[in-house]
Amino acid sequence: MSNFNKLFKVLLLIISFSLFINAVVAQTIHGKVQDKYGRALAYASVYVKGGAAGTTSNSDGIFKLNIPEGQQYIVCAFVGYQKQEYAVLLANGEEKVLFFTLTEQPVTLESVQVNSNKEDPAYEIIRKAINARKDNLNAVNTLSTQVYMKGMVQTYSMPRKIFGIKLRPSKELVDSVGKGILYFSESVTNYYKQFQPESFKEEVISVKVSGRSNNFGFNSVKSMDVNFYQNELLLDGLSSRGFVSPIANEALYFYKYKFLGTFYEDGVEINKIRVQAKRKFEPTYQYGEINIIEGSWKIHSIDMLLNKNAQIEIIDSLRIQQVMSPIEGQWLPQQTFIQANFNIMGVVAGADFLSVYNRYKVNPDIKDILQEHLLMEYQEGANKRSLAYWDSIRPVPLTYVEQTDYLKKDSLETKRNSQAYKDSVIKVFNRVTFDKLVISGSGFYNKRYKILTSLPPLLHTVQYNTVEGWLFNYAPKIALTSDTGGAVLRPFIRYGFKSRHFNAALLAKRTMGKDPRRRWELNAGIGKNIFQINPSDPINPVINSISTLWYKRNYMKIYEKAFMTVGFKNETLRGFKVSGDVSFEERIPLQNTDTNYSWRKYDDRRFTNNYPEELPPGYFNRHKAFLINADITYQPGQKIIKYPHKLFSVGSDYPTFGFSFSQAIPGILKSKTSFSKWKFSVKDYLNLKLAGSANYNLSVGGFFNSNNVPLPDWQHFNGNLTIVAREYVNSFQLAPYYANSTNDKQYVAGNFEWHWNGLLTNKIPLIRRFNWGVVTGSNAFYVDEKRNYFEFFIGIENILKTIRIDYVWGYDGFNNKPKSSIIIGFSGLFTGQGIE
């Protein structure tokens, strides 16, 4: 206790000093909240009776509260403890120290008798709360409030290696065992919300990120806006299914309840009920407590826990605590605390986020404030507030650990901003090592001209195919940044040792405009290089090298192209993306130069021709083409986050529509190619709540005219004949690469996948034990009676949080026979598949 008292005095001294330097004089209450044994009560509510002002104690039980002048009644409340109230009279600028010692809330069971033959009275209370749920959900149409939010992410331990790769965490952030604070931030936000239809806006007044004075952090009031009056609570990143509220319409099917008794606050009777999930592996909270007000059946406070039994992703457990307060006749959140713990590949960490609500207005007119597309807006200078400002506005005093982190990180930031430190970082970055040369790639930065040169590793540079033999394909990137945009140069150098042929090309890109919100991207290219016949590159060159050398399967089909091209790209904040280009190309077909070399011998296999053998001959001779391409995508209802000098789109709940058009014009520079090609597509992500999530991609296209369509311009479908999965929801995992290619007037194609996210599979012991996910779906396209394809797949994802394995059964109309195979890909932690 003596050490804590010393710390408490130091904190009071710091607070007092902060008040002394504030520009605005206020009446201040500060002190500590503890139980009868002297133990600090973290995140207790301290507020002025009537809702004029409020705060929360920090994790050490310390609080600070600015109050109006005159006599006020100061209330301290903590879930499970009796409220304590003091009358305080303060003159202008006066301050006072208060100590709250709370005792456990006495719960009475006098009027209730529970026996084995009688239903627990909690069920009747819950039924009444369920019946009143919708009315309580719709009791408020609009509200505004000011929210102080504090968040911290810290590690407790981490391994030295993951998958054999040595971890190199900054010694300035974590200690020898991997313990340290990775993120600490505070923010103050004006939050506006409309309930029906739901719409909201966050207006961030101030934000402070430890060690990152130019950063805005990722605190979001909306992410803390949990409403247990909703049937399911959707928690982004944990599961798309949502979690059933203990007072949802169907809650009695998922939970069992126990009546713990009643207690009174300000004459209001409150029922205390224990909640427990009936079954494991359901989308439910495993256990907790909910306090319900007698008569109105509103939530007084709630404390619920999620863990792996709910098949949550990424984290191991999540605790949500929410305390409500009477505001203008309604019970609204006074504070919300969310605590998460997780262990990812041996990295043990935790996250704590606290929101404190103040300055409520119920049912205000906020039509002019709520702009449909603007979700969050940061005020100019939001991250430039002074220490005096933060000391005056912060409702929850900093703990010793938080103060230390600010001091430590600010010192580190000063060090990192020094020229000597920057020079040392650049020196290390520019250092050439064996790992960089072979595996990860090298980089060199010129600080004077702000030029970054990225060099690819040898693993991506050395390749093999039956046309060029062993080849050297080198494509460095040179990037220049500036305040008016940036520029990127991509030279390509390629030499085939068997074909003895050299190719070189140069691509350039320039973003233009002082305003980042209105920049255009211009691009140009010239040279001669090797390309796949399908411009979508259906097979990775490294995969093709392995397949050719080890399995004697030369799937990749290539040609040589000399080209000149200019184009543009622009993205508006209303959901439109527009791009286009004009190019002149000379295409040259290529032949195999070596059909005998491979690392393994197969008597029943041979290398196929470089021209797709499934297609009739004569569609690819040397020719010239003059092409105009245009592409438009549109996603209505785009949501925007607005920073002081930048706007950022975060998508919307609507599908994305796309239209592309290509026109080949004959007669220009001796071009004979002539066609008009089009494609319309729609794709979307669907949150099916308790039924999981789904993705789909539908398209229809063809040729308006096809007078002269060389093979590279046909419509190709992204097939796959290897065990490595192609891009999901954009490919056909067992389809041939070129057998179904077409220049017909019309085709249709579709991809659909459904992530079950625990639906039904929570009954399968092996799947639920390892927290795997099940994904099913189908892919298909149709050109005509012969050229068509259909496949169905079922797979397991989130294996080791990264791997996905599918069993795929398909029917290929071209070969008129079914096929099946196992396909391995990646999803989960690193791709976001199945955890949206």
Query: What are 165-214's pLDDT values in tens digits?
Result: 666 666 677 777 778 888 999 999 999 999 888 889 999 999 999 988 88
Could you report the per-residue pLDDT of 16-40, keeping only the tens digit for each?
333 333 333 457 888 889 888 888 8
DSSP SS3 for 603: coil
Residue range 50-73: average pLDDT? 79
For residues 222-230, give the mean pLDDT: 91
Which structure tokens are listed for 424?
A: 């040392």
Q: What is the pLDDT, as a whole number, of residue 693?
A: 87
Determine the length of the chain: 836
Residue 832 has what pLDDT? 38
Q: How far, rounded to the nearest angstrom, does the alpha carbon of residue 217 sit from its chain's CA centroid?
A: 14
**How far is 338 from 220, CA to CA, in rounded Å?**
13
* pLDDT(825) > 50: yes
pLDDT at residue 623 in the model: 96
Query: Looking at this protein, which amino acid is placed at residue 266?
Result: D
What distance lies between CA 158 and its chain's CA centroid?
Answer: 23
The mean per-residue pLDDT over the stretch 534-554 comes to 94
The model's confidence at residue 236, banded by pLDDT at 50, 70 and 90, is: low
Q: 307-316, 540-549, 818-827: which has the minimum mean pLDDT?
A: 307-316
pLDDT tops 90 at residue 328: no
Quickly state the pLDDT bin for 751 (edges 50, 70, 90): very high
Q: How confident is the model at residue 799 (pLDDT cuts 50, 70, 90)?
A: confident
CA–CA gap between residue 204 and residue 174 (Å, rounded)? 30
Domains located in the chain, CATH noted = 2-102 (2.60.40.10), 683-836 (no CATH)
Specify the residue for token string 């990152």. 212
User: What pLDDT is stored for residue 80 in this prediction?
Assistant: 78
In angstroms, the first-to-last Cα distance of the chain is: 46
Residue 826 pLDDT > 70: yes
Count of other CB atoms within 10 angstroms of residue 25? 11
HSE-CB for 474 with a 13 A CA cutoff: 12
Read off the tokens for 158. 């981490």
Residue 332 has pLDDT above 70, yes or no: yes
CA pair distance 104, 98, nearest whole angstrom: 19
Mean pLDDT (whole number) for 553-580? 90
pLDDT at site 50: 67
- Alpha-carbon Rg for the chain, nearest whole angstrom, is 32
Would you state the pLDDT for residue 301? 92
- Average the pLDDT over 327-340 and give the result: 89
Contact between 313 and 239 (Cβ < 8 Å): yes
How many C-beta atoms surround the C-beta of residue 549 within 10 A?
Answer: 17
- The β-bridge relationship of strands 287-293 and 268-277 is antiparallel
Can you give the pLDDT at residue 566? Answer: 97
Structure tokens at 404: 């230390």
Contact 222, 229 (CB under 8 A): no
| Residue 285 phi, psi (nearest 5) | -75, 140
Q: How far apart are CA 781 and CA 791, in angstroms?
A: 10
Angle made by CA atoms 402, 406, 409, in degrees to the nearest 5: 130
pLDDT digit string (tens) for 447-460? Answer: 777 888 999 988 88
Query: What pairs with residue 290 in β-bridges?
Result: 273, 302
State mean pLDDT over 94-106: 85
Mean pLDDT of the chain: 86
Helix 400-416 and helix 2-21: axis angle, to 10°?
60
Q: Which two tokens stand for residue 65?
A: 């509260």
Confidence grade of residue 576 (pLDDT, cut at 50, 70, 90): confident
Tell me the sheet residues that pair with 333: 324
Beta strands of 78-160 (E only): which ranges? Answer: 84-90, 95-102, 142-157
Taking a C-beta distance cutoff of 8 angstroms, is the pair 169, 158 a contact?
A: yes
For residue 332, what are the β-bridge partners?
Answer: 325
What's the pLDDT score for residue 24?
37
Amino acid at 345: M
pLDDT band (50, 70, 90) for residue 164: low
C-alpha span between 345 and 158 (Å, rounded): 9
Q: Determine whether 33 is exposed, middle or buried from the number of CB atoms within 10 Å of its CB (0-12, 13-18, 19+).
A: buried
Give residue 18's pLDDT.
33
Environment class of residue 741 by beta-carbon count within 10 Å: exposed (0-12), middle (13-18) or buried (19+)? buried
* Confidence class for position 427, pLDDT limits 50, 70, 90: confident
Task: Band the pLDDT of 123: cuts 50, 70, 90.
Answer: very high
Q: What are the structure tokens assigned to 678, written together? A: 């089009």
Residue 831 is predicted with a pLDDT of 42
Helices (H) and strands (E) in the chain, counts: 10, 43
Whether 15 and 8 have beta carbons less than 8 Å apart is answered as no
Could you tell me the pTM of the whole model?
Answer: 0.79
Lowest mean pLDDT segment, chosen from 252-256, 265-269, 613-617:
265-269
